[in-house]
Amino acid sequence: MKNIFPPIALTMGDASGIGPEIVAKLLAKGGERVVVFGSCIVMQDIVRRLGLDIEVRRIDVPDAAQFQPRVIEVIEATRIVEPPPLGQISAISGQAAFDAIVAAIAAAKSGEVSGIVTAPINKEAMSSAGIRYPGHTEILAEYGGASRVAMMLANDDIRTVLVTIHTSLRKAIEQGDFDAQMSAIRLAHEGGKALGF
């Protein structure tokens, strides 16, 4: 029986950082209805470096995913010809992370995926690629078409919506005035109701 829900999009994160490793280790366990948005070359390189016995397979659309054990299915969302050096700031990696997020958002908006999970990105790498967004939240807001957004940190016991993000402590103190706090509280309340909290 075919699952009625589209898969989850998982962005690979910064190609020079920990994101691809997290993605590979997570998907090596198998069983998830997940499609990776990123680069086959980067994912193949990290699978080889980690010594994982899994195949990285390119697919063109999420609907083509077969979700087989020991297979990572990747939508090629960016152009990388060779894996960038690990642990270094790279404009190529920053651009690749951004491209993957934007492609995943487009897939979510079209209904090809049912949600998006993002691996870690490097703000400095994105900036070196000329990308003006400080983080995921702002990219998701603009490309997703949301006028009001906030970052929520959540676990089984607590959910916290941040009043300020991606700024220094000094600026956070300046920006976290009464109006900003009330805006975050209202958005958290609306979001919580929509999510069934």
pLDDT at 136 over 80: yes
* 62, 34 contact by CB (below 8 A): no
pLDDT for res 1: 46
> What is the band of 149 on the pLDDT scale with cuts at 50, 70, 90?
confident
The model carries a pTM of 0.88
Cross-strand bridge partners of residue 36: 10, 74
- Return residue ranges of the chain for CATH 3.40.718.10: 8-147
Q: What does the mean pLDDT of the chain come to? A: 92
- 71: closest CA among 49, 50, 53? 53
Q: What percent of the chain has pLDDT over 90?
A: 70
pLDDT digits (tens, 9 = 90+) for 159-169: 888 898 878 89
Rounded CA-CA distance 150/180 in Å is 11
Average pLDDT score over residue span 117-128: 95
CATH for 8-147 (3.30.450.30, 3.40.718.10, 3.30.450.20, 3.40.1210.10): 3.40.718.10
pLDDT for res 3: 61
pLDDT at 80 over 60: yes
pLDDT for res 150: 84
pLDDT digits (tens, 9 = 90+) for 37-79: 999 999 999 999 999 999 999 999 999 999 998 999 999 999 8
* DSSP structure class, residue 160: E
CA–centroid distance for 196 within its chain? 23
